Amino acid sequence: MVQVVTSAKSLARLGGLLYLVVAVGGAFSEYVRVNIDPAQHAGLFRAAFVTDLLDFTCFLGVGIVMYALLKPVSPRVAFAMVVVNAVSVAIQAVNMVNHVGALLVATDPRYTAGLGAQAAHSLVLLLLELHRQGYLIAQIFFGLFLLPLGYLVLRSGYFPRLLGAALMVGSGGYVGGVAVTFLSPGFESGFALYLALFGGLCELAFLLWLLIRGAREVAV
- pLDDT tens digits for range 39-57: 899 999 999 999 999 999 9
Residue 190 pLDDT exceeds 80: no
User: Do the domain assignments include residue 217?
Assistant: no
d(CA 112, CA 88): 32
Q: What is the pLDDT of residue 62?
A: 94
Q: What is the pLDDT of residue 79?
A: 96
Instruction: Provide the residue range defining the domain that includes 123.
Output: 2-212
Q: What is the mean pLDDT of the segment spanning 25-40?
A: 91
User: Do the domain assignments include residue 197?
Assistant: yes
Residue 213 per-residue DSSP state: T
d(CA 173, CA 138): 14
Q: What is the pLDDT of residue 220?
A: 43
User: Do the domain assignments include residue 176?
Assistant: yes
User: Do the domain assignments include residue 220?
Assistant: no
User: Do the domain assignments include residue 123?
Assistant: yes
User: Do the domain assignments include residue 219?
Assistant: no
Counting the structural domains of the chain, the total is: 1
Q: Amino acid identity, residue 191?
A: F
Residue 217 per-residue DSSP state: S
Q: How far is CA 10 from CA 26, 181, 210, in A?
A: 24, 38, 10
Model confidence, pTM: 0.86
d(CA 170, CA 66): 17
Q: What is the mean pLDDT of the segment spanning 112-123?
A: 81
